[in-house]
Structure 1
Amino acid sequence: MTKNVFSRVDLSSFVTGSTEHTWQPTMSAETNIPSYWLNWRFFLCAIFVLTSLFLSSFLIWKYEGPGKRRKRGGGHDHDQREGTGVVYDDETWNTCVRRIHPNWLLGFRVFGFVTLLGLISGNAIADGAGIFIFYTQWTFTLVTIYFGVAALVSINKFRSGDNCHNGVSSRVDEEQGSYRPPIHNENSNVFKASNGHERHNRSTRQVASTLGYIHQILFQTCAGAVLLTDGVFWFIIYPFLTSKDFNLDFFIVIMHSVNAVFLLGETFLNSLRFPLFRISYFVVWTGVFVIFQWIVHACVSFWWPYPFLDLSSSYAPLWYATQTHRPYAAVGLMHVPCFGVFALIVKLKYMWLSKCFSEEP
């Protein structure tokens, strides 16, 4: 059984053998022997993970992309609505407020990429490559990649010179004033169109490139993953670890805070939508992390980065650690509220902007 004990060890001990800076849980059993894997616990966990990946892949196949259209009713081909998975080019580089020029968003993205890259590189140099055994560093790296892709999208638009009007249509901008709400699909899972220009703009807006779709997908994957890592750490893990067993240091605080700050700043500036079906990518991201952990631990026996991943307990299929008093229960189920909270943040942003600018004289 896994003990609820944490010892002071360097994160880089996984690579260098040092034992000075942070913590690791006590090992419960050898993980690189057949008996650890050839049992009912692992097979139930594998069924759960693979089923989640299959359902996520199905949702992606069904909704992702501009070609997924739905008929209104009556079966007429000319009367169709865009699918929820369409991403328009201007959504990837434009701001949600006309008064804020897209170049400010460009600058923020470049600054975010440089800062996050410097922090994750510094963390790797200080503590060794072993940090990448943790989901936290995976997520921080993913957010860094997102800001790099976002900066590239904005730079490409800046170089093309097409963003000088800060909008799709200057006539529509004049009619709507300073706030330019995103044009959403009428059948969107999150938003309804808030103006009368939807049909006009749908026929004139350019669908995003492959890079634009990658940008949108990364944004929504990062949103759920950041809330999961930072929320679980600050509200579950850290409160239940005593100062004797666990001390905060610079990189631990940074890895569980700065990513959220930059992502929220990006969210309040950009004009990206947040269709709910893209929770599938968040689930796939976590599923890949779990499978990676299984493969590594099947090859090398060492401690699990998170106790709820340990497969030695009969409670393993429920995704929490062996003792019922542990504060890690139902971490897998937290994907839904974490993604939903960020979707709510995006929706509240547009509602607030719409209300503020609609009240302007």
Structure 2
Amino acid sequence: MADTDEQGLGYWLRWQVPVCALIFLAPSAIALIFVSKVQTAPLASYDLWLPCWRRLSPVWLLIYRAAVFVFMSWILSQIVASHGAFSFYFYTQWTFTLVIIYFALGTIISAHGCWTYSKRPEYEEGDHLLKRDQEEYNKSATNRTNKIKGDIKLQSHQVQEETEQRAGFWGYLMQAIYQTCAGAVMLTDIVFWFILLPFLTSEQFRLNLLMGCMHTLNLVFLVLDTALNRLPFPWFRFAYFVFWSSIYITFQWVLHACGFTWWPYPFLELSTPWAPLWYFSLALIHIPCYGMYALIVKAKNAIFSRFFPSVYIKSN
């Protein structure tokens, strides 16, 4: 915590302030430019709610998402009941809330998808919901005649997918939140378990059950959802993770400009000459955090498609 006489205008005129601002604003600007120019393949609406396992009913994914949403909401309510609005002073609660929003959106979209699935005639369900399964099968088939027939059938369904089955705004929002959460939960848990917990004293920091759950279950629940869903994981959405962290840092700077004197994380303190190094390290750690989760998704596709080729559907 900075001394009282270090607050005010003099605090913000330190040389560390513009350097630290550049460190987190420059990546945000680059990410914004990158997102505005990137071209991606359309997201299919059924990828939002169908499992990546052929024989697993989408109802089970719906039940899982709904149960996680309820349980995580209960944990957050207990934290807020204990600490009030001050709970949202921390990046952990921000990220935990974002994961809850993801599971809330996932529950709604899964429910809508299951309802749509139940309304389709049996023959139409098979053609519509299993077209990618058939595509994977045709690619590995040895009979060229059957493959050609399968390709013709898939081609006839492609027009319907292009016109009717693209994900809308809420679908793309769900995917963006999913990938933002992927990097944010990794960052939250790594900083908590490997930086804050070992080095802060018991007077500064005290671990309890709720806090331990918040820094563990966020990742566990998201990885389990990844093991079940068939959402693609393009690298360019790393930019949204950068935006998320930049928004939080901006939030902290605004609060301190308004008179707050305590930083929730010591490495955000600007009065130390080491501040630029801390901010630069914090910026760099975003890359391996997002990369580790991307490797989880890649390992999922590689391992499951190898050991369960007949039942696993590879993500795009």
TM-score (norm 2): 0.84
Please list every run of 5 or more consecutive structure 1 residues that lacks an aligned counterpart in the other structure. 1-26, 69-82, 178-195, 321-328
Count of aligned residue pairs for this structure pair: 289
Q: Judge conservation of contact 1:146–1:219 (CA < 8 Å) in 2.
A: yes
1:336 is aligned to 2:303: no
Equivalent residue in structure 2 for 1:354, among 296, 301, 305: 305
* Structure 1 contact 113–148 (Cα < 8 Å) conserved: yes
2:92, 2:215 within 8 Å by CA — same for their partners in 1?
Answer: yes
- Alignment CA distance shift 1:203-1:349 (3 Å): farther
Counterparts of 2:24 and 2:158 in 1: how far apart (Å)? 38
Distance 1:155 1:240, change over 3 A: same
Q: Hey, what does 1:249 align to over in structure 2?
A: 208
Question: Residue 89 of structure 1 is aligned with which of 45, 50, 56?
Answer: 45
- Cα distance, 1:157 vs. partner? 1.4
Query: 1:240 is matched with which residue?
Result: 199
Find out whether 1:220 has 2:179 as its counterpart.
yes
Shift of 1:172: 5.1
Is it true that 1:288 corresponds to 2:262 in the alignment? no
For residues 257-302 of structure 1, give each alpha carbon's deviation from its aligned partner in whole angstroms, at most 9, with x where no partner exists: 1111111111100000111110000000000000000000110232
Cα deviation for residue 171 of structure 1 reads 5.6
Q: Counterpart in 2 of 1:39?
A: 14
**CA distance, structure 2, for counterparts of residue 112 and residue 355 of structure 1:** 29
Instruction: Give the deviation of 1:217 after TM superposition.
Output: 0.2
**220, 224, 229: which one pairs with 1:265?**
224
* Alignment-mate amino acid for residue 29 of structure 1: D
Q: What one-letter code is carried by the residue in structure 1 that aligns with 2:257? A: A
Q: Deviations over 1:75-101 (max 9, x none)?
A: xxxxxxxx25x3211111111011111
Alignment of 1:43-82 (within 5 A): 43-63=18-38, 68=39
Counterpart residue number, 1:120: 76
Report deviation, 1:239.
2.0
Give TM-score scaled by structure 1 length: 0.74
**Structure with the higher fraction of residues in helix conformation:** 2
1:175: Cα distance to partner?
6.5
Number of the residue aligned with 1:28: 2
Q: Distance in 2 between matches of 1:334 and 1:135?
A: 15
Find out whether 1:173 has 2:165 as its counterpart.
no
Q: Are 1:133 and 2:89 matched, yes or no?
A: yes
State the percentage of identical aligned residues. 41
Distance 1:346 1:202 in 2: 26
Deviates most, 153-162 or 290-299: 153-162
CA distance in 2, matches of 1:41, 1:282: 24
Flag the 1:96–1:301 CA change in 2: closer, same or farther, 3 A.
Answer: same
Code of the residue aligned with 1:297 in structure 2: it is H
- Once the 2 structures are TM-superposed, how far is the Cα of residue 354 of structure 1 from its aligned partner? 1.2
Kindly state the Cα deviation for residue 150 of structure 1 after the two structures are TM-superposed: 0.8
Q: CA RMSD, aligned part only? A: 2.5
Query: Hey, which bits of structure 1, 4+ residues long, moved more than 6 A?
Result: none
How far does residue 105 in structure 1 lie from its aligned partner after superposition? 0.4
Please state how far the C-alpha of 1:345 moved relative to its aligned partner.
Answer: 0.4
Gaps of 5+ in 2: 138-150, 312-316
CA contact (8 A) 2:51 2:229 kept: yes
| Partner Cα distance (2:7, 2:292) in 1 | 38
* 8 Å Cα contact 1:98/1:166 also seen in 2: no
Deviations 1:27-84 (A, max 9, x none): 1234750011123211111122221111111121112xxxx3xxxxxxxxxxxxxx25
Distance 1:264 1:29 in 2: 42
Separation in 2 of the partners of 1:132 and 1:252? 13
Distance change (3 Å), C-alpha of 1:245 and 1:37: closer
**What residue number does 1:147 align with?**
103
